[in-house]
Structure 1
Amino acid sequence: MGNRLSRIYTRTGDDGSTGLGDGTRVPKDAARVNAYGTVDEANSALGVLLAVPLPEPVRALLTTVQHQLFDLGGELCIPGHAAIQAADIQALERQLDHYNADLPALKEFMLPAGGEAAARCHLARTIVRRAERETVGLARLEPVRAEAIGYLNRLSDLLFVLARVLARADGHGDVLWQHQRRHA
């Protein structure tokens, strides 16, 4: 087990820097900090989703994902550290296939809606997508394992599918974009 925080404030970041997991000090707006910070934000968004009633299998899956996102944040916070594995991505793909199997094919774009749980899931999806973009940006500057990017990509896909599942479970279904609507 790593170090436990006994004191929350240290004042060491008052100069605009923060410490990475390996002890290196970097600016708080460094690409690496943005990437793992957005992974943390995505994890918090999943916590907001988990605060509403959900089918138990979805709740269990999202709780597992929260642990994996914490692992991924650690991987991004410690240069050279590996936490997410190909098996984690494959597990997401299996869940994607499972939950997508009963959904009707989409022929139109969807709005991020469909009830409270679905809307929260869509919000988490968009934050995961931003985390992916920021991790790709980091990979242009420093080494990042392909598994980190692949995990975020697959997770955003899974959250899209789960939002559809949750919208159906709440009786709302998909809310389709009406691209040919008329303006008054």
Structure 2
Amino acid sequence: MKKDIRYSCYPFMREKISLVDFEIRTDSLTTRIGAVLPTLLDDETAQVVLDDLRIIHPMAYDVNGSVRGKLAVTEEDLSWLSARYDFYVSHVEGTIQQFLLPQGVESAARLHICRSEAKKSYRALHKVSLEREVPEILFDYLGLLANVFFVMAVYMNKQHDHAEIPFESKSYPTKKRKEEQ
């Protein structure tokens, strides 16, 4: 008897290897990127972020399939993302010289969630790399992507004059805390 596909949310769900966890993680990342888009549609200050996310959004699925399937992330993709990072940093570089609490206007808060999802995807990819060969470009792309989401979030807060909140760690000494002691 043929199994009814309505009971299968993903064909590889019962695999024991870490690859399926990576694929689920990057699916979550892609979903979170999609959740940012509506927050930008009516925001005239967000057009550049919206345009960039429309390119990044399908790329997250390309990262997803690049281990089990054909590598779909290219050096050109990485170069483009690196240039976008430089663009956002050029607008927020004074602000990002410290730790910041992940918060802000709705689009910024959602971009911080995307940042976290990209980091989780990177970590899941690391687990996969312990079991099989993984192209290094995927690590580079996910690490850079997490950083792009961070500077995008700070950029969106700046566009809306929403103040960043510096984070002073009680766990790790900072230059400022050392000077106070």
TM bin, normalised by shorter chain, reads 0.7 to 0.9
- The corresponding residue for 1:119 is 109
**1: CA distance, partners of 2:14 / 2:34:** 28
* 1:83 correspondence with 2:72: yes
Q: Aligned with 2:128: secondary structure?
A: helix
Deviation by residue 1:4-45 (Cα, 9 ceiling, x = unmatched): xxxxx616759xx834xxxxxx73453101111111101111
AA of the residue aligned to 2:18: A
Deviation by residue 1:104-158 (Cα, 9 ceiling, x = unmatched): 1534310001211111100110011000010011011111111111110110010
> Alpha carbons of 1:151 and 1:179: their partners in 2 closer, same or farther (altered >3 Å)?
closer
AA of the residue aligned to 1:100: V
- The corresponding residue for 2:5 is 10
Q: What are the within-5 Å matches in structure 2 for residues 28-107 of structure 1?
A: 28=15, 30-53=17-40, 54=43, 55-78=46-69, 81-103=70-92, 104-107=94-97
Q: Give 5+ residue unaligned stretches, structure 2.
A: 171-181
Asked if structure 2 preserves the Cα contact closer than 8 Å seen for 1:36 and 1:77, the reply is no
> Alpha carbons of 1:142 and 1:32: their partners in 2 closer, same or farther (altered >3 Å)?
same
Percent identity, aligned pairs only, is 20
The Cα RMSD (Å) is 2.1
Q: Aligned with 1:128: secondary structure?
A: helix
**1: CA distance, partners of 2:110 / 2:129:** 29
- The corresponding residue for 2:174 is none
Q: Which 4+ stretches in 1 moved above 4 angstroms?
A: 11-14
Asked if structure 2 preserves the Cα contact closer than 8 Å seen for 1:109 and 1:176, the reply is yes
Q: Aligned with 1:69: secondary structure?
A: helix
Asked if structure 2 preserves the Cα contact closer than 8 Å seen for 1:119 and 1:163, the reply is yes
1:99 shift after superposition: 1.0
Asked if structure 2 preserves the Cα contact closer than 8 Å seen for 1:93 and 1:154, the reply is yes
Q: Give 5+ residue unaligned stretches, structure 1.
A: 1-8, 20-25
**2: CA distance, partners of 1:170 / 1:136:** 36
Asked if structure 2 preserves the Cα contact closer than 8 Å seen for 1:164 and 1:173, the reply is no
Q: TM-score, normalised by structure 1?
A: 0.80
Q: Aligned pairs, how many?
A: 162
Deviation by residue 1:35-90 (Cα, 9 ceiling, x = unmatched): 11111101111111111025111101011001111111121332xx2100121111
